Amino acid sequence: MPASRFALPRAHHGVLADADRTALLRVVTALLSTPTAPYFEDGMLAVVRALAAEIPGVTLRSDEHGNLIARRTGSGSRTLAFSAHLDHPGFHPFLRRGRAPAATLHGGVPMTFLPGAELRFHDARSLRSVATARVATAAKGDDDLVYVELEDVRGVVEPGSFGVFDLPGGVMRGTRLSARVCDDLLGAAAILVALAILAREGHPRPLAGIFTRAEETGFVGCIGLLESGVLGKQTSVVGLECSPRRATAKVGRGPVVRVGDRLSVFDPELTHGLQDAASRVKARAPQFAAQRALMDGGSCESTAYNAWGVPAGGACLALGNYHNCGPDGGIAAEFVDWNDLEGLVALLVEMARGFDTPGAVAGASGIRARLIRNWERESGQLSRSSARLCTPARTAARKRRSS
Ligand SMILES: [Zn+2]
């Protein structure tokens, strides 16, 4: 297995200052070097806590389910929150008397990709690597979970440990970052760096970063968070993801303003806000590009936020080898383009700068205001031409009335 290699690509789009690019690499390295799986986000939460605690003015709070919320207070009633999940498909091992250990899969990886996959098991608390093994077979159980038989077990698979695909934490080649986990640690990284930039410039309005658990098993952490009501009524969310690339959303063509997922379409105001923010980043850094797409290769927490009445938009990175499904039918590293990630950070910062500013027109009226500007420019033409078009109709109506 190749060793991890984290290095800043030289070619970039000029959307982030050099110091912020370096900070982003440091955050990404810390997150991607830490193993995670659904219900085993312990190490990731510790890393995110430590990184968030470095940001001036940020206070940290966990809800009763262990989801982490980093808040920065400010004036204004509405909080703009960025949300990302900290888990990734992984394995829970169990021991069997007289037989090799087996494991259950948690998260969406098609069974056909699993046989032959190399796994590494970690102790939940220390994160120490305790064993490696290879998947021999995979089959669905009566409980609908996928069970894998393990072979070539080296080390001791301890009860309470968890398994991940045994792939390098991250390898940068050119501007391509290949990693055991892009989804969604790069979303979390984008939030941490965006909050740090906004804190440094003394952003005046309330902000939050939400880091959820157990997204891969059906938004479970996020639903717990929504049920607990800790977010408050005046929160708007931008859900961040790494989402399977599409014909309309390619790796390397910029961050994606995600208009929806497989299950729902997202909040028009926030989508519009992201689109506007992308235009402002582009005006400043002409090499920057953003894509706008329905990312229906998966569903994301924005669907859950909206379903619970918390308005949510979405932004994501176009992702290759989604959930480690490689092109040859086996397990492989996920990959993104590093400049898409830098662009995503710039997009979030710009979104916050424009959100709930004095004089900004909120809600559907924001889009309406844009349409009204067209109306004001064009309505003279409409009325002059309608005098010509409508006269016969009026005359006809008069004729009908008088007859
Ligand atoms: Zn995800």
CA–centroid distance, 322 to ligand 1, in Å, is: 9
In DSSP terms, 237 is beta-bridged to 81, 312
If one looks up domain 18-88+168-354 in CATH, what number appears? 3.40.630.10
Q: What does the alpha-carbon distance between residue 6 and residue 138 come to, in Å, rounded to a whole number? A: 33
**How far, in Å, from the CA of 300 to the mean position of ligand 1?**
7
3-state secondary structure of 168: coil
C-alpha of residue 173 to centroid of ligand 1, in Å? 23
Whole-angstrom CA distances from 280 to 10, 153, 258, 353, 354 are 24, 53, 17, 10, 10
Looking at the predicted structure, is the pLDDT value of residue 306 above 60?
yes
Q: What separation in Å is there between the alpha carbon of 392 and the centre of ligand 1?
A: 59
Beta strands in 129-260 (DSSP E): 129-140, 146-155, 161-165, 171-173, 176-179, 207-212, 235-244, 256-260
pLDDT in tens, 329-339: 999 999 999 99
Binned at pLDDT 50, 70 and 90, residue 182 comes out as: very high
Q: How far is the CA of 316 from the centre of ligand 1 (A)?
A: 10
Which two three-digit tokens encode residue 110?
A: 């098609």
Find the 171 Cα to ligand 1 centroid distance in Å: 20
Q: Can the peptide bond before residue 267 be classed as cis, meaning omega within 30 degrees of 0?
A: no
Tens of pLDDT, residues 90-102: 999 999 999 989 9
- How is 47-115 classified by DSSP, letter by letter? HHHHHHHTSTTEEEEE-TTS-EEEEE--SSSPEEEEEEE---SEEEEEEETTEEEEEEEES---GGG-T
CA angle 245/251/257 to nearest 5° reads: 70
Dihedrals φ, ψ of 222, to 5°? -65, -40
d(CA 106, CA 114) in angstroms, rounded, equals: 13
* pLDDT for residue 118 is more than 80: yes
Ligand 1 midpoint to CA 118 (Å): 22
Task: Give how far Cα 245 sits from Cα of 176, 242, 321, Å.
Answer: 14, 9, 9
Give 49 Cα–ligand 1 centroid separation in angstroms: 20
Tell me, in angstroms, the distance from the centre of ligand 1 to residue 242's CA: 6
Ligand 1 geometric centre to CA of 182 (Å): 8
Determine the distance separating the centroid of ligand 1 and the alpha carbon of 261, expressed in angstroms: 12
pLDDT tens digits, residue range 22-34? 999 999 999 999 9
114 alpha carbon – ligand 1 mean position (Å): 19
Give the pLDDT score at 159.
83
Gap from CA of 216 to ligand 1 centroid (Å): 7
pLDDT at 398 over 70: no
Compute, in angstroms, the gap from residue 311 CA to the centroid of ligand 1: 19
Rounded to whole angstroms, how far apart are CA atoms 112 and 157?
24
pLDDT of residue 391: 67
Exposure b/e, 203-242, CB count within 10 A at least 16 = b: bebbbbbbbbbbbbeebbbbbbbbeeebbeeebbbbbbbb
Task: Specify whether the CB–CB gap between 87 and 107 falls below 8 A.
Answer: yes
Range 344-358 average pLDDT: 93
Predicted TM-score (pTM) of the model is 0.93
Cβ atoms of 326 and 289 within 8 Å: the answer is no
User: Which pair of structure tokens corresponds to residue 365?
Assistant: 């009226």
Is the pLDDT at 363 greater than 60, yes or no? no
Q: Which pLDDT band holds residue 303 (cuts at 50, 70, 90)?
A: very high
How far CA 75 is from CA of 31, 186, 201, 213, 288, in Å, comes to 31, 29, 15, 29, 31
CA of 120 to the centre of ligand 1 (A): 21
Domain ranges of the chain: 18-88+168-354, 90-165
Q: What is the pLDDT of residues 126-144, one digit of tens each?
A: 999 999 999 999 999 999 9
Q: How much distance in Å is there from the Cα of 386 to the middle of ligand 1?
A: 52
SS3 per residue for 176-202? EEEECCCCCHHHHHHHHHHHHHHHHCC
Cα 207 to averaged position of ligand 1 atoms, centre (Å): 22
Please give the distance, rounded to the nearest whole angstrom, from the Cα atom of residue 215 to the centre of ligand 1.
7
Going from the Cα of 183 to the center of ligand 1, the distance in angstroms, rounded, reads 5
**One fold for 18-88+168-354 and 90-165:** no
As a whole number of Å, the CA-based R_g of the chain is 24
CB of 257 closer than 8 Å to CB of 274: yes
> Could you tell me which residues are beta bridge partners of residue 96?
99
Please say if the pLDDT value at position 361 is more than 90: no
| Residue whose C-alpha is closest to residue 178's, from 187, 169, 186 | 169
SS3 of 394, please? helix
pLDDT in tens, 146-177: 999 999 999 999 888 999 999 999 999 999 99
170 CA to centre of ligand 1 in angstroms: 17
Q: Which CATH class is domain 90-165?
A: mainly beta
CA of 129 to the centre of ligand 1 (A): 24
* 25 SS3 class: helix
- pLDDT surpassing 70 at residue 1: no
